[in-house]
């Protein structure tokens, strides 16, 4: 087929699947999007991983400190129990020598930093390492003495 002037004047038809020519602005927008979108996605993934790592680190730190605190409390309770056991085996208790027991209680108070109070079965204070020897306590007796 030989082109005629009539066929030359007709507009060129492009298939529908082909894009029309882009302007420079369109290409720049596509270029920016092609670079920016992966960077944003990568940054978000790094941020999420960082948050997860910090949460795990904080959780581990809290667990470690809780464990250390529990060990300290257990150690202190064991010290108090040991002091009470030593005082309970004191010969001055069996001979009812409360002045000697008071001196031992003062020694425990000075070493451990805790007061020692001895009550009789009726709940009355017999010895209190916080008060000087011989002074009666102004505190009320225990509400219900335990029997055992």
DSSP bridge partners of 9: none
The model carries a pTM of 0.53
**Residue 11 pLDDT:** 64
**Residue 73 pLDDT:** 96
What's the CA gap between 138 and 128, in Å, rounded? 11
The residues of the chain scoring below 70 in pLDDT are 1-22, 136-148
| Distance linking the first and last C-alpha atoms of the chain | 123
pLDDT tens digits, 33-49: 999 999 999 999 999 99
**Residue 97 pLDDT:** 87
């Amino acid at each position: 087929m030989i082109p005629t002037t009539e066929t030359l004047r007709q507009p060129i038809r492009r298939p529908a699947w082909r894009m029309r020519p882009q302007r420079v602005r369109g290409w720049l927008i596509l270029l920016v999007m092609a670079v920016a979108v992966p960077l944003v996605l990568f940054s978000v993934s790094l941020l999420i991983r960082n948050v997860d790592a910090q949460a795990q680190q904080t959780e581990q730190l809290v667990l470690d400190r809780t464990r250390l605190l529990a060990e300290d409390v257990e150690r202190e309770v064991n010290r108090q129990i040991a002091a009470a056991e030593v005082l309970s085996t004191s010969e001055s208790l069996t001979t009812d020598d409360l002045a000697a027991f008071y001196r031992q209680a003062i020694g425990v108070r000075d070493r451990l930093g805790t007061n020692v109070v001895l009550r009789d079965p009726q709940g009355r204070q017999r010895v209190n390492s916080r008060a000087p020897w011989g002074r009666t306590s102004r505190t009320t007796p225990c509400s219900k003495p335990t029997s055992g």
